[in-house]
Structure 1
Amino acid sequence: MESFRLGKEQRLQRGDLSKKGRVDEEIAELVNYVNGSERYCSTSSCSGRILLLGGSDQTEVQKQNCSWLFVTHQKCQKEDVVAGLQKVRDNAVLKFEPFVLHVQCRKMEDAQLLHSVAINSGFRNSGITVGRKGKIMMAVRSTHCLEVPLCHRGKLLVSEEYIDYLVHVANQKMEENQRRIERFYTGLRSSISAVAPPEQPGEKGNRVASVYTRRRRQRTTEKERGSGEPTAHSDGENDLVFLMGTM
């Protein structure tokens, strides 16, 4: 696992390469906790946001050519959206995008633990991927999104009353998003603390050797006492079962 540790150190030393240049304040403590564990290394994140996206095309292919007319990681007001719409020259879409966190994991067991916590916290679109070189990634994702076109070719398509309704819906989704983040953080801390710390190199072999030595001494003592019948764990087959249970 040395390669994972070195890769993690290099990644964290590079700093945040996002447009914002730092982790969202709303999840900074969570991300720091993830990176503080020797099991994980975060690669990207977003706490969740409400944004008004403008541009000539709203498809994923052309998304880089769009402009952010308004964006917030908190709940918003109708006036914020209306002000953003005044800047529209072509198309505009109001969106809510939930919390997302991408994490590189040391082992598959670590990814599975993270995935279980995410699912139980409401992030049911989460998943694990393994690269060709064995890189294990875990994505914490949700499906409670919102995407509604408001303008087309500079023309407003909806009423101000409907904008007010959309803002209400987006704010409700943001509140639920924050609750899920809190559940995820609490569940992750509880799960990691419940898992036994990883063994140090050689520790596993030493423990097994110690068990084997105790069993061998037990058999020797019994023979010296002249016992004709083996005890419950003194035969070779039972020794194997016992060792498998401790490995």
Structure 2
Amino acid sequence: MDRTAEFRRWKAQCLSKADLSRKGSVDEDVVELVQLLNGREPYFTTSSCAGRIILLDGDINGFEVQKQNRCWLLVTHKPCVKDDVIAALKKANGDAILKFEPLILHVQCRQLQDAQILHSLAIDSGFRNSGITVGKRGKTMLAIRSTHGLEVPLSRKGKLMVTEEYIEFLLKIANQKMEENKKRIERLYNCLQHALEKENITNSRPKEKIKDKNKSSYTRKKKRNPEEAHSKCFTEENVKERENDDDLGISVTIFPEDY
């Protein structure tokens, strides 16, 4: 079976499966982006979370918070208020942790070039911790994510270690991060839509004209990188937001992995 046919089979199988997430459906803030990706030939999403504020209870294992073995006291994909957190903390018996987790979106791509184009758009939209993984079976996965998360311990063995005023302060920060996360999702959606529209316009032109145009411009300038061509969709406001972005690192990982 050729790679294209195999990719189509993987896509059909994935999109026909039931949603096994805790919520059981795609988050509202990322529905349009997921639908846009799944509606295009080279992509399909395998998992997504639009971003959330969660309160976990349990034992802290070293420096890492393991969600699998902890009790979920509170989870919301919307801005959170202090009273909800205080009420949830009354159920805590262990070490309660307040977290904000930004968007995480896993996209399987038809080939590496498709992943590179989408990766470029994700980076330019503020998701600078995004990365590409190429598996041994030829599966090319893109993880779209950023680093503007938040994780703060609030209680120890059921005893609240901070004041309600401090919790209110933390929630103000978490809600601001939630709002910024939503802006980045919208930015990525707009950039992707813009790139796809440009692709449709290019593909609709007569091939002879495109060929002649390429010939005439070849001697004047270098051929543009496809990722660069797809990522030029920012307003002056977006550029300013990127300059003030707190995500300074860029991570692109391409390595063989057994899928």
TM normalised by structure 1 equals: 0.78
152 and 188 in structure 1: CA distance in 2 versus 1, 3 angstrom threshold: same
Q: Give the AA of the match of 2:18.
A: G
SS at match of 2:154: strand
Q: Give the AA of the match of 1:162.
A: Y
Say yes or no: does 1:26 pair with 2:29: yes
TM-aligned CA deviation for residue 198 of structure 1:
11
134 and 47 in structure 1: CA distance in 2 versus 1, 3 angstrom threshold: same
Per the alignment, residue 111 of structure 1 pairs with: 115
Say yes or no: does 1:134 pair with 2:144: no
Per the alignment, residue 39 of structure 1 pairs with: 42
Q: What is the RMSD of the two structures over their aligned residues, measured on CA atoms?
A: 2.3
Per the alignment, residue 5 of structure 2 pairs with: 2
- Structure 1 unaligned regions, length at least 5: 200-206, 212-232, 234-244
Contact kept, 8 Å, 2:56 with 2:67, in 1: the verdict is: no
61 and 177 in structure 1: CA distance in 2 versus 1, 3 angstrom threshold: closer
Higher relative contact order (CA 8 A, sep 6+): 2
Contact kept, 8 Å, 1:42 with 1:101, in 2: the verdict is: yes
TM normalised by structure 2 equals: 0.74
Per the alignment, residue 89 of structure 2 pairs with: 85
TM-aligned CA deviation for residue 197 of structure 1:
8.7
SS at match of 1:43: strand
* Seq. identity, %: 56
Match of 2:14 among 7, 11, 15: 11
Per the alignment, residue 230 of structure 2 pairs with: none
Q: Give the AA of the match of 1:136.
A: T
Question: Cα deviation per residue 1:189-213 (whole Å; 9 max; x = unaligned)?
Answer: 11122225999xxxxxxx89xx9xx
Distance of 1:122 and 1:2 partners within structure 2: 33
Distance of 2:193 and 2:158 partners within structure 1: 48
Distance of 1:138 and 1:198 partners within structure 2: 25
Distance of 1:104 and 1:9 partners within structure 2: 12
Q: Which runs of 4+ in 1 moved over 6 A?
A: none
Per the alignment, residue 120 of structure 1 pairs with: 124
